[in-house]
Amino acid sequence: MTWRVRTKGDVWRFTVAISAIVLLGSLGLRFGMLPPDLAARTLVPGSAMALMLAAPIAWFVGRRMHEVHRLGTRLEHAINHDLLTGVHTRRAFYERTGPMTGGGCAVIVTDIDNFKGFNDRYGHFAGDQALRQFAAILTGNCRHADIVARFGGEEFVIVLSDAGAGEGLAVAERLAARVRASAIYHGAHTLCLTASFGVAALPPGGDMDIAIQQADRALYRAKHAGRDRAFLYDPGCDDAAIPMGTAAE
């Protein structure tokens, strides 16, 4: 049996359970080893002593188990989430998307336009602020079941569960508009960002890495077409991606 002490309420339940086990064990030993009349006479003081010893120890152990659980949860979160932006790491991305390949998904690759120049002009503190805001826009405009991960630098990957390429493009265009409309306040400066997006479909049973490569090729086309837009990967085109919708016009 594995004890899991996740909350303060679990600490109380653990204490009660351990105390009850000790009390029952004490009663069993008393009536099994002592004459019945002596066991009856020592029932109340013996039980009280067993509880006085067991309850504080169980409470102390329960508290420590609760702290270990909290530390373990924080460590797991730190391993699976990017320290700066709070979105999933690449490692956690592949762990979470593994079970998703059975159904169709839309994959979006995106990064901030001209981010190196932004960093050089305003400094790394402003760049970090921009990355945090960018990640917040991505996560705030996706569903809970969708996955947002930082793959490195200013590049992020989004997986939209149970979505096709058209839905993915619509989401990418909406995200591009949200990024464009969101100001960053850095000292006396009001700064603006734009981002480019590449979208690809991941069919049921498809390869995630291939879908990411296809979305990345679409992102490359979006960059060279002027940035601040979304492109959809099209395997039937020699150019590998075609602009669709208002974001690509």
Residues with catalytic roles? 154
Tokens of 32: 């099994």
φ, ψ of residue 143 to 5 degrees: the values are -75, 165
Q: Is the CA virtual torsion 73, 142, 140, 178 positive or negative? A: positive
SS (H, E, C) the chain: CCCCCCCHHHHHHHHHHHHHHHHHHHHHHHHHHCCHHHHHHCHHHHHHHHHHHHHHHHHHHHHHHHHHHHHHHHHHHHHHECCCCCCECHHHHHHHHHHHHHCCEEEEEEEECCHHHHHHHHCHHHHHHHHHHHHHHHHHCCCCCCEEEEEECCEEEEEEECCCHHHHHHHHHHHHHHHHHCEEEECCEEEECCEEEEEEEECCCCCHHHHHHHHHHHHHHHHHCCCCCEEEECCCCCCCEEECCHHHC
Which residues sit opposite 107 in a β-bridge?
A: 159, 200
Supply angle C-alpha 20, 23, 29, rounded to 5: 140
